Amino acid sequence: MISKFQILENETIKNALLMIENNKKGFIFIIDNNQIVRGVVTDGDVRRALINEHSLNDKIKLISNKNFIYGDINSTREDLLKKLDYKIKFIPILSLEGRLEKIITKDDLPIDKEASVLIRAKSPVRISFSGGGSDTTNYFEFNDGATLNATISLYAHASLRIRSDKKISVHSLDLNKKIEAKNLKSFLKLKNQFGLIQSLLKLLNPNFGFDLLLYSDFNMKSGLGGSSAVISSIIGCFNECRIDQWSLHEMAELSFQAERLSFNVAGGWQDQYATVFGGLNFMEFNKVKNTIHPLRLPDNISSELEESLILFDTCISHESNEIHLDQKKETKKIQVTNIIKSNVELAYKMRNYLLKGELSNFGKMLDLAWKNKKSLSKKISSNFLDKVYKEGIKNGALGGKLLGAGGGGCFLFYVKPEDRNRIIKIMNDLGLKLIPFVFENKGINSWKTRQVK
């Protein structure tokens, strides 16, 4: 208790010496009637005072050291460590008014209390080049599948703050919606636009309350695998809460389970793997094992490919679930199965062109990929989308394709860099919006940060 280390300034040297003897620390602080520290006296100061013929009945304030080292509530740990390392045995910590709060010594410099933290994660979306339709379980149960895709610098973001109670709060800036519930059980019963998130949280089953904030760099239903990126970013946040953290494969599988099985959204596997693993990947699918092959291109080839790809938002949202369901039904037809097989063969060819640096051939293969994609379902294209593609080819694009399930979303074109501006102007005239991007070689990224007060 700090009372053992304080004495009023009008007390005697004798009383101060007795208190120093009792606290067994060799010092005492001199305070006034308002409890403000006015000085410090050590047992050495008392000895020197008596040698200099001071009386034990003299007032202690006569021999106190008024020019003493102290800290306050704003003193940094670094500053205190430096003081203790420089021949100082103790440091009083004073309030802003000058009252004694605590005493720091070399043996008693407590570490800072653990601060509350925010957990954050971001996960990139992908552009797909070929192999669409072959990453669905109903296809690769009987035929080997393969896709080629790359993640880009557009992300789904999530921030998680763990609460001291069981309350659940989820806020989506994309939907401009916020819902709250007293606990997870109540949250899962709510009827709202967060059905996919509810499916994931039911699967994860956290035993604590939390505030979850979500926002994205891309438009919803863009064909970039955005829903998988959102789910992946949430999984990344909760993974930071675990001692035994999930692997990349496990996170991708959790995302697939929440989206495809629990929430019953039709689709394939590539989106979950792409956003979690990140980078340029060639993926192979069969009923035994899914395998992710990262492709490492030389810097000049990667830069040229990045410079030659242009991404546009058609500003038409698409309903991927309906298209996937229609495609699933069509896959039962032998002619559609043959088209998907052709897509798989094309994915291997495009992979090889990339590895060899034959980018013009890669670009031309996008044209075949689009024609194959259109053949999978009548819902994939439209008169307007056909016009967009025709104008792109007419003005210098070697190839291109609509991304995702189809019906809207984003168009990707391969053009020679010197033709970029012409293509951009034509697409702007058609009402499409340019989406600048660079390749993102990293997948899901999660971390903790101290919460700003």
Q: Which residues are annotated as catalytic?
A: 271
CB neighbour list of residue 25: distance below 8 Å, 6 or more residues apart: 5, 90
Instruction: Tell me the C-alpha to C-alpha distance, in Å, between residue 388 and each of 124, 392, 435.
Output: 26, 6, 16
**Which residues, listed in sequence order, are joined to residue 102 by a DSSP beta bridge?**
93
Work out whether the CA dihedral 67, 69, 72, 75 comes out positive or negative. Answer: positive
Report yes or no: 121 and 144 within 8 Å, Cβ to Cβ. no
List the Cα angle 430/431/432 in 5-degree steps: 100
Give me the amino acid identity at 282. F
With H, G, I as helix, E, B as strand and everything else as coil, classify residue 3: helix
User: 271: buried, middle or exposed (CB in 10 Å: 19+, 13-18, 0-12)?
Assistant: buried
Sheet strands side by side (includes 399-402): 399-402, 410-414, 309-313, 433-434
Spell out the residues 6+ positions from residue 100 whose beta carbon is closer than 8 angstroms to its own: 2, 5, 6, 29, 31, 35, 37, 92, 93, 94
Token match 């060799």: residue?
A: 26
Q: Are strands 117-130 and 445-450 parallel, antiparallel or unpaired?
A: antiparallel
Q: What are phi and psi of 63, to 5 degrees?
A: -115, 10
Asked if 69 and 91 touch (Cβ cutoff 8 Å), the reply is yes
**In one letter, which amino acid is 281?**
N
DSSP 8-73: ETTSBHHHHHHHHHHHTSSEEEEE-TT-BEEEEEEHHHHHHHHHTT--TTSBGGGS-BSS---EET
Task: Scan for tokens 């033709």, then name that residue.
Answer: 419
DSSP letters of 315-356? S----HHHHHHHHHHHTTSHHHHHHHHHHHHHHHHHHHHHHH
d(CA 429, CA 220): 23
Contact (CB, 8 A) for 428 and 395: no
253, 242 contact by CB (below 8 A): no
445: number of Cβ within 10 Å: 15
